[in-house]
Amino acid sequence: MKIFCLTEFKVEYEKLKSKNSYNSIESDIIHYFFDKSVHDLCAGTRLNNSSTTPYIKKRIKGRCGFRFYFLLIINDEALFLMFVHSKTGSFGYENITDESKAYLYKKVLECIKTNELFELTLNAERRNIIFKKLSKR
């Protein structure tokens, strides 16, 4: 499966990763999203009614973990990470607004069309995420 992200996701990820209290975020992403089938990733709260392109909100690591918003394109076996936030701590908050969820959905669809995305891969030791900016179409 290919994994991509929006700039908004990368910005939030880097902000969280820079803080010691959120240092598990990289390993949490690697453990939950990499080397999984599309069907493994369908768990979570669906924010749309699509069975072929579900928009999912998923809490990882319970109440003290992170909330991820992502789009799956099942036929292409592609995952698009749209946003992440902590549930606790100085950068933590409960949820994003419905308007923010709608904005992210529209944004990811536009970014897929224009290729304004980052592709996520792992380094050789499979311990670190590498973000590679895709070329615009």
- Six-digit token string for 109: 């669809």
Asked if residues 86 and 22 have their Cβ atoms less than 8 Å apart, the reply is: yes
Q: How many CB atoms lie within 10 A of CB 94?
A: 8
Q: How many CB atoms lie within 10 A of CB 119?
A: 14
Which residue bears the tokens 């701590």? 89
Residue 71's domain comprises 2-133
Q: Indicate the residue type of 61.
A: K
Domain count, the chain: 1
pLDDT recorded at residue 71: 97
Global pTM exceeds 0.85: yes
Distance between CA 31 and CA 27 in Å, rounded? 6
pLDDT recorded at residue 29: 95
- Non-local (6+) Cβ contacts of 89 within 8 A are 19, 21, 22
pLDDT tens for the chain, 137 residues long, are: 999 999 999 999 999 999 988 989 999 999 999 999 888 899 889 999 898 999 999 999 877 789 999 999 998 999 999 999 998 877 877 788 999 999 999 999 999 999 999 999 999 888 899 999 998 76
